Structure 1
Amino acid sequence: MKILKRILFLILALIALALIVAVFVKKEYSLEREITVNRSKTEVFDYVRYLKNQDNYSVWSLMDPDMKKEFTGVDGTVGFISAWESDDKQVGKGEQEITGIVEGERIDYELRFREPFESTDYTYMITESAGDSATLVKWGFSGRMDYPMNLMLLFMDMEGMLGPDLENGLVNLKKILETL
């Protein structure tokens, strides 16, 4: 009986320690990748402003070409929603909405994941002139994990998990735009 009490006490102490540690762990995460595309800023922005075009370069869209897609609103404008549903667990189910546009400069999105887990994250694409016919494209991703789930950020490498997908998506975007 004493052994069971000690084991129970140890388990409770570990849980309490984890909850205390979680108070001090960051709750936000963000990352950004960039690439230079040899096209004018206007051409690049006019392409990336359309959410449907992400199907051509986003790694996540390319993972399941047979995923079910549904669109609401006018693409390239604030309020446009692209919803997806896939049997591939890496793709899952969710929707992305254009939440802000600074013409020729920046597009903001809200990503709402439904499956395999629920979360809301934010992404953006920024276009900056990098010369006469070159454009620096920045693709960023950020999110938040509330207490005590933020403890998982100690064990998750968001840069390692998402960074390569953003990089590969930008490489795909560059290839598409430079061959148009």
Structure 2
Amino acid sequence: MKILKTILFVILGIVVICLTAALFIKKDYAVEKEVVISQPKAVVFDYIKMLKNQNNFSVWAQMDPNMKKEFKGTDGTAGFVSAWDSENGNVGKGEQEIKNIVEGERVDYKLHFIEPFESTSDAYMTTESVDSTHTKVKWGFVGRMNYPTNLMLAFMDMNEAIGKDFSTGLTNLKGLLEK
């Protein structure tokens, strides 16, 4: 019985230490990747502002070609929603809504993940002219993990976890637009 009490005390101590540590760990995270595409800014922006086009370059859309997709509204305008439902745990279920468009410059999205876990994050894509035939595209993602789940950020590199998928997606986008 004494051994059981000791084990229980040690486990309780570890839990208390973890919960205390989570008080001091950051809650916000951000990831941003970029690529230069050999196309004029207007061509690139007209393509990326259409949310359905993400299905052509996004790593997550390519993970499950059989996922169920539903669209609401007018693509390329604020309020347009793209919803997905996948059996693949890496894709899950959720929806993405265009929240704001600054024509020729930026598209802001709200991501609502439903499965495998519930969360909401913001994402964006921006375009910037490098010269008349080259455009820099940035794809970013910002989010927040509330206490105590923020403890995961001490062990997770969000830039590595999400950043590599953004980089691959941007490479796919470059390949599509430079054909």
Q: TM-score, normalised by structure 2?
A: 0.97
SS in 1 for 2:131: coil
1:122 paired residue number: 122
Q: What is the CA–CA distance in structure 2 between the aligned matches of 1:142 and 1:97, rounded to whole Å?
A: 15
Q: CA RMSD in A?
A: 0.9
Which letter does structure 2 place at the counterpart of 1:48? Answer: I
Q: Distance in 2 between matches of 1:57 and 1:11?
A: 45
Name structure 2 gaps, 5 residues minimum: none
State the secondary structure of the residue aligned to 2:74: coil
Which residue in 1 is equivalent to 2:159? 159
What's the CA shift string for 1:86-107, capped at 9, x where partnerless? 1111111110000111111000
- Deviation, 1:5, is 2.4
CA distance in 1, matches of 2:26, 2:137: 28
Residues 9-18 or 138-147, more deviating: 9-18
Measured after TM superposition, the shift of residue 81 of structure 1 is: 0.2
In the alignment, structure 1 residue 93 sits paired with structure 2 residue 93: yes
Aligned length: 179
Aligned identity (percent) is: 59
Counterpart-to-counterpart distance in 1, 2:50 and 2:56: 11
Q: Distance in 1 between matches of 2:116 and 2:7?
A: 34
Q: Which residue of 2 aligns with 1:68?
A: 68
Letter in 2 for 1:158: M
**1:69-124, CA deviations, whole angstroms, 9 ceiling, x for partnerless residues?**
00001100001000001111111111000011111100000111111111111110
Q: For 1:157, give the aligned amino acid.
A: D
Match of 1:21 in 2: 21
